Structure 1
Amino acid sequence: MSRGPREGVRPAFRQWRAGRPFWGGLLLALGGAEILLTLKASLDVILHVGMQGLAGYLLPVVMLLCGVLILFNPTQRLFYSVIGVLVSLGTWMTSNLGGFFVGLLLGVTGSCLAFGWLPDQEPRVSRRQRRKRARAAKTLSPTPARQA
């Protein structure tokens, strides 16, 4: 059985992922989703909904939106990551201590990763490829002759 069409999916996704701050946007979006889910928890679990009910729902939605925008519009990542970290820190006051600190930490970490991402950086070479290159260079280079 041929796997022709499936061979191009994984390399295409890797190329798409390499051109944007993927992990930063994903962590920020997951942090917003986690905070939204903790707001829907039963009343026995909820510490407080927030200063105002709307702010408790608005800030995690903005986090989720910033994470998705970082993924699909990486040219504006600096603006979205600054907004994301401010909103993530704001959820500590408005949304169950930032989703019991899990969503808060995910949001701050994702925003920092997106802020620090450099688009012009060359892709990292895996350890396996570096070892292969080192072995190939070692076998191709002649050993220096010993002088007596």
Structure 2
Amino acid sequence: MPRGPREGVRPAFRQWRAGRPFWGGLLLALGGAEVLLTLKASLDVILHVGMQGLAGYLLPVVMLLCGVLILFNPAQRLFYSVIGVLVSLGTWLTSNLGGFFIGLALGLVGSCLAFGWLPDQEPRVSRRRRRKEAQAAKAVARPLEREAGRTA
């Protein structure tokens, strides 16, 4: 069965992704997952043991949860991103230096992206498309200028 130009999984995913701070939520969730994985590293690899109690596992789980919630509940992105920044900074002390700085950085960048996302923005037009539109406008304007010069 032939599909139309805007049917299928890929365009539907693009439309879903455009309506939420996708990259911010994804980076925050990846940061939480990375910090969780570094908690399972061997003692030879671990640089800083920190508080290995509940906080060492709780903060990366909260990071992961905030990232997922940003993806599926974008209306509350400001709250989740602020919590994500605070929890990401907390992993510095509790979870192996924030997952060897990688999880910490991913969490901070993802939270900042989610915080700065605006839902009602028009899609950006690429530079190539703007250039083509300008050339088309010039091509239309040239014959009109010539006709105006003849009649004057």
Larger Rg computed on CA atoms: 2
5+ residue gaps, structure 2, are none
Runs of 4+ residues deviating >3 angstroms: 143-146
Distance 2:7 2:75 in 1: 29
1:15 matched to 2:7: no
Deviations 1:67-90 (A, max 9, x none): 000000000000000000000000
**What is the alpha-carbon distance in structure 2 between the residues aligned to residue 15 and residue 124 of structure 1?**
14
Offset at 1:141? 1.3
State the partner residue of 1:93.
93
Mapped to 1, the partners of 2:73 and 2:44 lie a distance apart of 39
Give the 3-state SS of the residue equivalent to 1:31 in structure 2. helix
Moved more, 69-78 or 51-60: 51-60
Alignment of 1:1-40 (within 5 A): 4=3, 8-40=8-40
Report the equivalent of 2:110.
110
> Relative to structure 2, which stretch is displaced further, 128-137 or 109-118?
128-137
TM-score (norm 2): 0.88
Secondary structure of the 2:24 match is helix
In the TM superposition, what are the counterparts of 1:71-90 in structure 2 within 5 Å?
71-90=71-90
SS at 1:135 equivalent? helix
Equivalent pair of 2:52/2:95 in contact (CA under 8 Å): no
TM-superposed deviation, 1:7 = 5.0
Identity %: 85
Q: How many pairs were matched up?
A: 146
| Equivalent-residue separation in structure 1 for 2:15 and 2:56 (angstroms) | 37
The separation in 2 between residues aligned to 1:92 and 1:125, in whole angstroms, is 39
Distance 2:2 2:126 in 1: 25
Q: Which amino acid aligns with 2:55?
A: A
Residue aligned with 2:8, SS: helix
**Normalised TM-score (structure 1):** 0.90
Deviation string for 1:24-70 (max 9, x for gaps)?
Answer: 00000000000011111111011233224211110000000000000
The Cα offsets for residues 2-39 of structure 1, whole Å up to 9 and x where unpaired, read as 76389522111111111000010000000000001111
State the Cα distance separating 1:92 from its structure 2 match: 0.1
Unpaired stretches in structure 1, ≥5 consecutive residues: none
The 3 A distance-change label for structure 1 pair 57 and 3 is: farther
